[in-house]
């Protein structure tokens, strides 16, 4: 059994004057992890938008391929010509808005993937710098980059969400239009 006098003081890690430098280094390490996470999230949003755009193109192409022959017939007595036009419109309007919002996911962005501008090290260094001052400056810049990236991520996610909603509305609008056209045909 250990006596009180024999106990070794636990290692609490860096303390005293070395602690601020350790904290600044740790902040930069955490910022780098957060920036990597943000970049992965942005890549995921863009991948989802790409997938939805692919499905959107396929759906619109199928609708146009089925509808256009009925719309361009010269026979004015084509009974379903108006119905086909209405259904095509019911698909085209939400498809248009879905495309606009999904393409907005890819708008140019001022994206930050590092904690600081490396050129700063060669141009704006204070006269008597210390490693602590440089690390703190990188941490402050990195924190601002995270905040700026979060704003971009929120806008990108909002565009993706709206695009997805309009994409989902496309078949719903087609079903509603089809139902109303069928109901109108029964009543007439």
Mean pLDDT for each consecutive 10-residue tract of the chain (188 residues)?
Answer: 62 81 93 95 98 97 89 70 88 97 96 77 72 88 94 98 98 93 84
Q: Which residues, other chains included, contact 132 with Cβ-Cβ below 8 Å and sequence gap of 6+?
A: 20, 21, 24
Distance of alpha carbon 137 from alpha carbon 154, whole angstroms:
26
Among 89, 96, 87, CA closest to 177: 87
Instruction: Return the number of other C-beta atoms located less than 10 Å from residue 32's C-beta.
Output: 15
């Amino acid at each position: 059994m250990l006596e009180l006098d024999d106990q070794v003081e636990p290692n609490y890690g860096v303390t005293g004057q070395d602690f601020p430098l350790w904290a600044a280094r740790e902040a930069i390490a955490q910022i780098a992890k957060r920036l990597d996470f943000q970049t992965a999230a942005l890549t995921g949003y863009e991948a989802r938008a790409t997938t939805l755009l692919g499905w959107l193109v396929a759906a619109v192409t199928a609708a146009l391929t089925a509808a256009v022959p009925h719309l361009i017939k010269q026979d004015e007595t084509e009974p379903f010509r108006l119905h086909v036009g209405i259904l095509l419109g019911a698909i085209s309007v939400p498809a248009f808005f879905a495309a606009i919002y999904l393409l907005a996911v890819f708008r140019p962005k001022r994206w930050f993937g590092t904690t600081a501008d490396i050129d700063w090290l060669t141009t704006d260094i204070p006269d008597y710098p210390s490693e602590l001052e440089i690390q703190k400056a990188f941490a402050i810049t990195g924190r601002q980059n995270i905040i700026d990236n979060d704003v971009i991520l929120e806008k990108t996610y909002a565009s993706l969400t709206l695009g997805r909603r309009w994409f989902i509305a496309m078949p719903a609008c087609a079903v509603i239009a089809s139902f109303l056209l069928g109901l109108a045909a029964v009543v007439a």
